[in-house]
Amino acid sequence: MMRSMFSGVSSLRVHQTRMDVIANNIANVNTTGFKSQRALFTDAFYQNLQGATGPTRNPLSPGMNAQQIGLGLNMGTIDNIMTQGASQRTDNPFDVSISGAGFFIVQMGDGGRGFTRAGNINMDSQFNLHINGMSLMGWGTRVDASGRHVVDGSRLEPMTLGGEKQTMPGTSTEFIDMVGNLHPSMADDPDAERPVITRTMSIFDSLGNVYTVDVRFTFWPEHSQANDSAFSYWTFEFENDDDGVVAFRNGVRETANRAVLGIDAVTGGNGGGDGPFGALAFNTDGTLVGVRSWAAPDPVTDPLFTDADLFEADPTGDWTILTTGTRYWDMSIVPISGVAPSASFGSGVEIDLDEDDPISSGTIRIDSSRLTAGMDAASHRFRIDTVDGGPMGTLRDISIGADGTIIGSYTNGAMRILGQIPLAVFDNPAGLERAGANVWLESANSGSFDGLGEVGAMQGGALEMSNVDLASEFTEMITTQRGFQAASRTITVSDEMIQELVNLRR
């Protein structure tokens, strides 16, 4: 039998395999994250008819090349083309496109680990994240020493947005900022004997419940800039409840049982105090120089109170001095009654082990470093800013950052880290084996996965498209067809030659 016929058969077989590869590429032209393949040929084993000989001088003889006849061709390699596919914008926050090297890590139904470039992440009814039905693996979070949620990259786990991630706990108010200038012209009645400025602020307990409290500042002209005083004085107080308990109001101002927590004391940054009332002393340029707490009854409404008791001390002497460093007050607050008796308030909570009525108290720090008095009222409007604390919230939306970090947005306006999506990186990604469903598996020639993953570059709201080049595939299809056609002709001609040999016996 003629060798040319078998060479033609091998060519037909290999060109058919190449056409299978091309057809698969074209079929997956719209498959997310698909990587195309190419089929490369090698010539088959050669039969030596005569070996090569070298030239000689004596006797003079020329060299002769070897005489070899090829036996067709074989499939050399089917390579994975791992070039980057174009990004398709989807605006879906759960869609992620990988920029550069790396694969998403998934856990398959049999518990095995796979890898994929397809970033079409979905969430099930239990808030678990998956890709094409396989659990997406990633890094969870932990709470650090400062109380913040940070990524824990020490182990891989199935990614989920369920459990405690669905809610944002309320945070207690620990810091309040007083900003601006106290001036009698801003009082409700500037012509009153002692002008009063009232401001309302909101604070939050540890469960996220919101409370409102009225703070009243009263100007004392008879003591301010008097002949014997170089200071102006304002008293502050937190509005009394009907029963005389200093109280915060919970939302609507009820007429009964409206006290939910009371002020135990207001103290200065460097000293102590024992009452809910106090005085502020400002020097002639409007700078706050001292604060003093007072346990006596209301200095404005109680006729038994003598204002000399409050102002008789020197504000630069036995008051809490605020002329240097951070100017703040510490306000100690104590739960009394209301909708959330188990909540705590402020920072530095201490438990009062009263056998009959154990309570907890905390501290809210009030910063007065930007508080002045007596200056031009038009240029410094006084206000109270609550700068921290917030209500409880529920998860409203997520976003995935360029490094795979998942950020959750909550209905209370807060944000927190929910986890991070790492990438698996291989020394030879083209050596991975395909397993279908856009999944790749480790092979002996791909290099091994480190078990944890690495931080990679990603683009949220987009998917990586297939890297199939249709122009190239159609060109390859034409050349493959012509190669197959030519190989079939060699078989036909070989058959005709054999037929001629058979006809010799006629």
- Distance, in Å, from the CA atom of 268 to the CA atom of 210, rounded to the nearest integer, reads 25
**Least confident range of 102-116, 208-222, 290-304:** 290-304
Segment among 33-37, 108-112, 227-231 with least mean pLDDT: 227-231
Cis peptide before 59 (omega within 30 of 0): yes
pLDDT at 496: 86
pLDDT value for 364: 76
State the pairing for strand pair 359-373/347-352: antiparallel
Percent of the chain at pLDDT exceeding 90: 41
User: Does the pLDDT at position 259 exceed 50?
Assistant: no
Report the range of poorest mean pLDDT among 237-251, 327-341, 360-374. 237-251
Q: Which pLDDT belongs to residue 257?
A: 31
Q: What is the pLDDT of residue 451?
A: 92
How much is the pTM? 0.70
pLDDT computed for residue 92 by the predictor: 93
Count CB neighbours of 406 within 10 A: 27
Is residue 205 scored above 80 in pLDDT?
Answer: no
Helix residue spans in 253-335 (DSSP H): 307-311
- CA dist 94 and 70 (Å) reads 56
- 176-190, 285-299, 410-424, 452-466: least confident range: 285-299
Considering only residues 376 and 29, tell me which one the structure prediction assigns the higher pLDDT: 29
Beta strand 175-182 with 359-373 is parallel
- The DSSP 8-state label assigned to residue 241 in this structure reads P
236-240, 241-245, 385-389, 466-470, range with greatest mean pLDDT: 466-470
Say if residue 240's pLDDT is above 80.
no
| Residue 308: C-alpha distances to residues 228, 288, 314 (Å) | 13, 20, 12
Average pLDDT score over residue span 61-69 = 84
95-99, 191-195, 298-302: lowest mean pLDDT where? 298-302
Calpha distance 412→202 (Å, rounded): 15
Judging by beta carbons within 10 Å of its beta carbon (0-12, 13-18, 19+), is residue 303 exposed, middle or buried?
A: exposed
314 against 158, higher pLDDT: 158
Residue 382: name the closest of 119, 155, 180, 163 by CA: 180
- Judge whether residue 71 has pLDDT over 70: yes
Mean pLDDT of the chain: 80
Structural tokens at position 485: 């056609």
Model confidence at 183: pLDDT above 80: yes
pLDDT for the residue numbered 121 = 96
Question: Which residues have a Cβ under 8 Å from the Cβ of 138 and sit 6 or more positions away?
Answer: 105, 129, 156, 157, 159, 404, 406, 419, 420, 421, 422, 453
Question: What pLDDT is recorded for position 294?
Answer: 62
Please indicate whether residue 388 or residue 482 has the higher confidence score (pLDDT).
Answer: 482
Residue 138 scores a pLDDT above 90: yes
For the ranges 47-61, 81-95, 264-278, 491-505, the maximum mean pLDDT occurs at 81-95
pLDDT at 412: 87
More confident residue, 319 or 80: 80
Chain CA centroid to CA 276, Å: 42
pLDDT of residue 342: 64
pLDDT digits (tens, 9 = 90+) for 439-485: 999 999 999 999 999 999 999 999 999 999 999 999 999 999 999 99
Helix (H, G, I), strand (E, B) or coil at 464: strand
Q: What is the reported pLDDT for 261?
A: 42
Residue 338 above 50 pLDDT? Answer: no
Residue 389: per-residue pLDDT? 83
Provide the pLDDT for residue 391. 86
Residues 294-326: tens digit of each pLDDT: 655 555 555 555 666 667 667 766 676 555 555
Residue 258: per-residue pLDDT: 32
Amino acid in position 284? T
Q: Are 229 and 295 in contact (CB under 8 A)?
A: no
Specify the pLDDT at position 378. Answer: 59
Confidence grade of residue 256 (pLDDT, cut at 50, 70, 90): very low
Closest CA to 169 of 47, 421, 343, 326: 343
In sign, the C-alpha dihedral spanning 21, 22, 28, 32 is positive
Q: Quick one: 91 exposed, middle or buried, by C-beta within 10 A (0-12, 13-18, 19+)?
A: exposed
